[in-house]
Chains A and B, each alone.
Chain A
């Protein structure tokens, strides 16, 4: 059965930084732009968490904005 398309995500690799993850997920964008985008789409990691931005191996990291 074909699944409805949902928001795409990745999970962080061991010791992966947000920069490395952003490059992996959004290779066509400059790294700073990619990092800013990743941060803006993942407030559960980069705004709500203490310490903000702590990447965990189990995290769902969205690599695109919410689908309309």
Chain B
């Protein structure tokens, strides 16, 4: 007697092999049989006309804190994602001394745009070491988690404030190696580092103060455990990214480790960026190095309102500085004609027409209905104002609760992106799930992969697309127990409609601690999700199953 049999589905097993009609049987949390399955099960799922595939793996997330109150990493799981990798970009919530929490929370707020309430109101922060963090999230996981440990927090633990001041001594590097060993032994899937990020005060994060020799020493430890290195390179500059690829390749070859970097974007302004990066990646793979570029499926867009700080104003330091202030200070500045005149001037001699004119008033907030869906350029013309002035005034007139969307920030030409995603050395990922909460929805990239690049453009087959986000991802990350529908492996399974799987529209939700807002996308076409053999999501609802594990 099996526990579950998924019958009559189109089995796409995650290996890239041709799909076939058949059944998948599950027993004791594992796949027991694939094909024409005889026998009975306590529960049968009719998958007629549906695809049965391994659960999707999302290799670049920041669900570190959300997992402490939401073991399903909603809405990732309902999109068919059964395994997530948090702890990217040099940041994790362990190892972390109690006295250093505020500092790391500040980094999460700055880099990943998470509200402070997420760290202060929703859980009991009782751990300091990695094993303690693991125990804290394992209490109620519905999704599997393969957590990275962050280089910045390892450095902070060993060096304290000096971690953002200087190079490490030989003794400090040795201590970091010991600490990394402890984290890997406690279940970390690898180490993450960053070459670009800053804390909330604009200071480079600790990992950026490391000499290459320090990273080399830590990678030696990764080699002992056969674990991953993830890094964020200077993705805005092709030459620097290529230099980072070469550094990662040296580390990969020397220590026998797999490395990955993200993000990699295509952009009309720099059309040779991805081709040059991929040419270098191909050369390094030909040498035997493993340097996997991660590329997201979705186009780049970004929303903001004046209620919260936003990455959008990174180009306008005065705006960014003002919008970071507390509400009363912010309102005072925005009502001061002299300050506003400077802000408008900062937006350019055209009053911000080129920089801001394409913004769309997106609604779902206090925006006047007559403004919703219109461009700022159109609204400004109607008001007889510059775009920058109209943006400020419209926000002030509505309690700052007016959201604007820039829908055209790049990575949007599907005819170019499709072949890039299909490249055998491109690792599909970089969703940033759980981060940038009020800037864009990081959920549904997998649905978009099928709707845009399988159904619409045909850049890849159904089997290729499934393999890219299951079997290939598991291979890259060394998740030997996952990623394929194969007897003996963990029963992470998604049943979806290949004709409709997609992401829904991006909508604001107020489901974060402290009624914090984030943008989310619901799933379309995903019918059933099993995690380690238990049904975690079905018929549009999450179940009570808590079968997720920390997996390496």
Contacts and interface: CB of A to CB of B under 8 A. Distances in A.
A53 B548 CA distance: 47
B239 interface: yes
B243 A9 contact: yes
B209 A56 contact: yes
Given A3-B287, A44-B237, A60 B243 contact: yes
A41 B455 CA distance: 45
Contact of B207 (A4, A58, A62): A58
A58 B279 CA distance: 24
Contacts of B214: 57
Given A1-B286, A9-B243, A44 B234 contact: yes
B211 A11 contact: yes
Interface string A4-17: 10110101011100
Contacts of B283: 1, 3-4
Interface centre among A3, A50, A57, A59 (most CB of B within 10 A): A57
A66 interface: yes
B246 A58 contact: no
B56 interface: no
B211 A4 contact: no
A3 B250 CA distance: 13
A66 B211 contact: no
B239 A58 contact: no
A6 B246 contact: yes
Contacts of B211: 11, 13-14, 57-58
A45 to B, nearest CB: 10
B215 interface: yes
B524 to A, nearest CB: 41
B241 to A, nearest CB: 9
Given A6-B242, A15-B167, A58 B280 contact: no
A28 B380 CA distance: 57
Interface string B197-216: 00000101001111110110
B202 A57 contact: no
Contact of B204 (A3, A7, A9, A56): A56
Interface residues of A, number: 20
A3 B284 CA distance: 8
B244 interface: yes
A14 B243 contact: no
Given A6-B246, A56-B204, A58-B195, A14 B167 contact: yes
Contacts of A15: 166-167
A33 to B, nearest CB: 22
Majority SS at the chain B contact face? helix
A58 B209 contact: yes
Contacts of A14: 166-167, 211
Contacts of B215: 58
Nearest to B231: A58
Contacts of B1: none
A7 B286 contact: no
Nearest to B239: A7
Interface in A24-68: 44, 50, 54, 56-60, 62, 66
B243 A56 contact: no
A9 B280 CA distance: 16
A1 B172 CA distance: 36
A13 B280 CA distance: 26
Contacts of A54: 204
Nearest to B204: A56
Contact of A60 (B210, B234, B280, B284): B234
B167 A62 contact: no
Interface in B176-224: 195, 202, 204, 207-212, 214-215
Contacts of A57: 167, 208-212, 214
B135 interface: no
Contacts of B246: 3, 6
B505 interface: no
A15 B166 CA distance: 7
A11 to B, nearest CB: 5
B240 interface: yes
A59 B234 CA distance: 10
Contacts of A3: 246, 283-284, 287
Contacts of B244: 60
Given A4-B283, A50-B202, A60-B195, 5 more contacts: A3-B246, A3-B287, A7-B242, A11-B212, A60-B234
27 contacts: A3-B246, A3-B284, A3-B287, A4-B279, A4-B280, A6-B239, A6-B242, A7-B243, A11-B211, A14-B166, A14-B167, A44-B234, A44-B240, A54-B204, A56-B204, A56-B209, A57-B210, A57-B211, A58-B207, A58-B212, A58-B215, A59-B208, A60-B234, A60-B240, A62-B239, A62-B243, A66-B239
Q: Which 8 A-B pairs have the closest CB atoms?
A: A14-B167, A57-B211, A60-B243, A1-B286, A56-B208, A58-B208, A57-B167, A7-B239
